[in-house]
Amino acid sequence: MTARKVKTIVGVSMVSIALLAGCSTTGGVKPPISDKVAITPDSWGSPETSTLVFGTVYRQELLFTMPFFQLDFIQINPALSPSLVSAGRKGKAFFLPPVEPGSVERLLYFMYRVGDNTFESRLSFQPGTGVTVETETPGLKYAGSYVLAPGKRDERLPGSKYAFLPAPKGSELKSLQLIAPIFKDTAWDSLIQTRITELKNEK
């Protein structure tokens, strides 16, 4: 996995769309989302029938950390229709539009910025690598917290210059606290607040 410098910003990588089209003609490509998109209660499904995937992912430089500019996930469970989505982001936290339980969401593509430069990378489908989230039941699904660290070679990825590692600066509580305002007044609001309270009481 190597990063490539690009000159333009794209909403969804064309190679991702091509991979999706090759898997199936159903499912379609959902538009990118972000914390700036207006959210209405009827557009985010229900905790009774959908799964809200969330977590933390950021990039570690020598002296500082930075969030990603874009994160694209693809649904790879062959029993369900494939779909490609751009994760919503709030600081280092990310979330996916509520998905069908049983979905397996895999990070396929990311972008980040260093100064005036933008870099991108497309990830391998090799099992056991990258970031993959398996959903089983409706409700909240914490994907984990990951840091993409340069110079930390991942032996599972021959030739890679980066590795997704457990992130010391991320947690389920921090992730939920960041995305909670985005889901205010939606069907997910109460569930998120309840989980935040539970996590605080566990400390």
CA separation for the pair 44, 198 (Å, rounded)? 23
- Residue 203: inside a domain, yes or no? no
Q: Is the pLDDT of residue 191 over 90?
A: yes
- Residue 139: inside a domain, yes or no? yes
pLDDT confidence band for 125 (50 / 70 / 90): low
Structure tokens at 114: 């260093």
CA separation for the pair 137, 101 (Å, rounded)? 5
Phi and psi at 197, nearest 5°, equal: -65, -40
CA separation for the pair 41, 18 (Å, rounded)? 32
Domain membership of residue 60 as a residue range: 4-38+47-171
- Residue 167: inside a domain, yes or no? yes
- Residue 163: inside a domain, yes or no? yes
Provide the pLDDT for residue 20.
38
Phi and psi at 34, nearest 5°, equal: -155, 175
- Residue 86: inside a domain, yes or no? yes
Render pLDDT for 54-100 as a digit per residue (tens, 0 to 9): 999 888 766 677 778 788 899 999 999 988 888 988 988 999 988 99
Render pLDDT for 9-38 as a digit per residue (tens, 0 to 9): 333 333 333 343 333 322 333 434 444 444
- Residue 115: inside a domain, yes or no? yes
**Closest listed residue to residue 98, CA positions, set 21, 150, 146, 39:** 39
Per the structure, the count of domains in the chain is 1
- Residue 176: inside a domain, yes or no? no
- Residue 136: inside a domain, yes or no? yes
Burial degree of 132 (CB within 10 A; 0-12, 13-18, 19+): middle
- CA distances 23 to 15, 45, 75, Å, are 13, 25, 10
Which H or E run includes 66? strand 65-67
